[in-house]
């Protein structure tokens, strides 16, 4: 099964495109941005390990 959240490598502006369950909610420019996208996707940010490759 594919991961429901994919964070892509930094683009030329330093942001990272985020894909959450086939939708692209935007670009994350900070850890806070990423955690907000995860929260909107239904994940509890307190249960997220940001360096988890899975």
Strands annotated E in 1-54: 5-10, 16-20, 23-28
CA atoms of 46 and 16, how far apart (whole Å):
21
Evaluate whether residue 11 is within a structural domain. Answer: no
Note whether 42 and 35 are within 8 A (CB).
Answer: no
Are residues 31 and 49 in contact, defined by beta-carbon separation less than 8 angstroms?
Answer: no
- What pTM, to 2 d.p., does this model score? 0.68
Residue 38 lies in a domain: yes
Domain count, the chain: 1
pLDDT, tens digit, 9 for 90 and up, residues 19-48: 877 667 678 899 898 888 888 888 888 888
* Residue 40 forms part of a structural domain: yes
Domain assignment of residue 52, yes or no: no
* 4 or 15: which leads in pLDDT: 15
Q: Please give the residue range of the domain that contains residue 23.
A: 16-45
Q: Is residue 21 one of the residues assigned to a domain?
A: yes
Residue 1 lies in a domain: no
Structural domain contains residue 33: yes
């Amino acid at each position: 099964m594919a991961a429901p959240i994919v964070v892509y490598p930094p683009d030329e502006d330093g942001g990272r495109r985020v894909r959450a369950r086939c939708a692209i909610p935007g670009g994350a420019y900070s850890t806070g941005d990423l955690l907000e996208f995860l929260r909107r996707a239904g994940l509890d940010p307190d249960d997220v390990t940001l360096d988890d490759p899975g």
